[in-house]
Structure 1
């Protein structure tokens, strides 16, 4: 289990806070495990009043000791009002012990103002990029959605923060879980007019190539009877080798890895949400036998389908 401390400054957007927390909650729900927990703090222990008029409750004031858990510093508007001398001193002290500190959106300004980004690469919201670069020349600014540089993380807004959380989930628990979490946060219109598939990001990747989109759509439509890579590539209009290269460049995985992740995620939902036999689940997700399905399931999720059902039954 990974625990995060989350420091929220006044005037932080609801959506920014949700972009950090909701992917973690979704990962817990999908796996049926407490992979992640988090504690919310504010500088004074009072609930954060947002611009939307909906307060964000917190557990108490931020008074760090020698905690080593990752710390996320969230800020949206008027960050200078919250970045008091006392708070910056606390951040400087706790940074000595933390495994990681993240400046989320305007939180990057607070870290930079506390000299916690000196010598690091970072990013911030695109509207503030030039001002940030001028104010903190000691920080190597990159025009990326998020930047992970050793023990420092920065993001450029709410959706880039969601991308960051997917990347952290991928690094800790694999591509399959990150993909399944990402699919919870996407709305897909009916594609009756040939609309492009709206694929969520995994990490920094936004899928813009129509051939990769076509291949992913084919994968989603053929979970029950998977196509060979050669046939998949042919129907997407490229060679198998080129499709392999496109997936590696854009998705960070090979086509067969994405395909298998889709099938296993579909299978796990059936294991958790239905009483179907494992043989039926195997057939519905393109596996030749229940034993082949169980081997692949165990390799990905570190427990057998039977273990999953038994564990969830015990926890109910």
Structure 2
């Protein structure tokens, strides 16, 4: 059995859950097979240069902190990934703005050689920036769909747990990572072997790529009221072009009056105010995690007037969009 050389590239603020599940899946496969069929290494995305004051060797370990500040030690930089058969790009926080020409170049070379590339959590931004998603679709963490669409309007986003297009794989993060890894293992070693691997994680079944992402929050809201859950799910899908509340009610098969009653009962807020808050929360995320202009942020969250956007934003957060941007820039 040919050994698969695997490289995990950790970006600052990567999602620890996705990374850990991917590592565990490969480790379980090695254990079940009785030999190291997946030889993996962990790398950081910095490339040493001759001006570095420290050791210039690509094998010089460097730690990378996850989104929850857990440091992971790596074996070296991108130079270690040159001969990889399979690369996992691990991202999450601030991935939309991450810029690394050396990484993009590496991924393009691997793609040309028909190597497999998997984007975990928000790393679909990296594949898009590297030009690898032209003419393709992808999956990513649901909360970043609006930002992704604003930056890459020509790349369709699938609501699947993960998407496979040629040798590129993108996932929604979280436990969908494990489903994607089991798919990879099944491609290499067959469905029965992948099923045996899934048993080590106490899974009842392996979910397919076509299965739709299901938000636990939406399920909880639907348990309170089917009308409430359906309304919020529709609101989140239409941030940039928000519905009138009357239209929203019609879309889910109820009346505006009933919708008002449901929101007041369970959320103590009107549906209009709830919708506005969702849009402003998305706007704040885009302000903090991208370099999009405030005008574009306003447009992406459904505001035609910059002044109206700023007023609504300040009413909610007691700070203007420009103040939030300035604070975030100083922290970074």
Q: TM-score, normalised by structure 1?
A: 0.56
1:1-316 alignment runs, 5 A limit? 1-44=3-46, 46-63=62-79, 67=83, 69-80=85-96, 82-186=98-202, 199-204=204-209
Detail structure 1 runs of 4+ shifted over 3 Å in the superposition: 89-95, 202-206
Deviation at 1:81, TM superposition (A): 5.5
Deviation at 1:33, TM superposition (A): 2.1
Size of the alignment, in residue pairs? Answer: 196
Q: Which moved more, 1:110-119 or 1:41-50?
A: 41-50
Deviation at 1:91, TM superposition (A): 3.2
Deviation at 1:137, TM superposition (A): 2.5
Q: TM-score, normalised by structure 2?
A: 0.54
Q: Secondary structure at the match of 2:7?
A: strand
Deviation at 1:64, TM superposition (A): 6.2
Superposed CA RMSD: 2.4
Q: Does the 8 Å CA contact 1:10/1:82 hold for their aligned counterparts?
A: no
Deviation at 1:150, TM superposition (A): 0.3
Q: Distance in 2 between matches of 1:11 and 1:105?
A: 11
Q: Does the 8 Å CA contact 1:7/1:72 hold for their aligned counterparts?
A: yes
CA separation of 1:102/1:179 partners in 2, compared to 1, >3 Å: closer, same or farther? same
Q: Could you tell me which runs of 5 or more consecutive residues in structure 1 were left unpaired when the two chains were aligned.
A: 187-197, 207-316
**Which residue of 2 is the match for residue 284 of structure 1?**
none
CA separation of 1:27/1:93 partners in 2, compared to 1, >3 Å: closer, same or farther? closer
CA separation of 1:8/1:17 partners in 2, compared to 1, >3 Å: closer, same or farther? same
Q: Distance in 1 between matches of 2:81 and 2:18?
A: 26
